[in-house]
Structure formats: C-alpha cells, structure tokens
Amino acid sequence: MKRQEYLKAQRDKLLALKKQEREKQLQAVESDSNKQRPRSAKAAQSALAGQPETEINSQTLQVRKALAERLKSEVVGKKF
C-alpha cells in the first residue's frame, strides 16, 4: 500500500509540474503574440472600431469577382 500511495503522490507532483509549465508557456505565447501580432486589415480594424464599412468601387469589385472565378476554376478544375 505504501508503494501505491508513493507512486500516486509522485504522479500528482509530475502532473502539477506539467500543468504549471503549460500555463507558463501559454502566458509567454500570449504575451509575445500580442506584441508581435501584425496589424489587421483596414476593414477589420474599422469593423472592430464599430465604424461603417467604406464602399467598394465597381472596378475593385469586378477584379475581385474575376479573381474568385479564376481561383475557383483552377481549384475545381484540378483532378486528384
């Protein structure tokens, strides 16, 4: 019985240490990602700020649609 209790205690200590280490790593990653995170796109920033979206001119919209169609045809057209 003593051996079982000893092993359980050791296991609990190891699990506690691993949990603490994971929490430290998570905090380090979160703090680093906040500092090094690239700036968001203009539309995302305005959406987060609660500002209305700016209108997209028709030429830009046409270019986007053409690009989307081209990508769609390339992806769907490929055979695996």
The tens digit of pLDDT for each residue in 59-69 reads: 888 999 999 99
pLDDT for the residue numbered 67: 92
Q: What is the pLDDT of residue 21?
A: 94
d(CA 38, CA 32): 12
Largest CA distance in the chain: 79
What is the Cβ-side half-sphere exposure of residue 31, based on CA atoms within 13 angstroms? 6
Q: Who's near 56: CB < 8 A, 6+ residues apart?
A: 64
pLDDT of residue 38: 46
Query: For position 50, what pLDDT does the model report?
Result: 65
Question: What is the per-residue pLDDT across 12-68, written as a single tens digit (0 to 9) for each?
Answer: 999 999 999 999 998 887 777 665 444 556 656 666 666 555 667 888 889 999 999
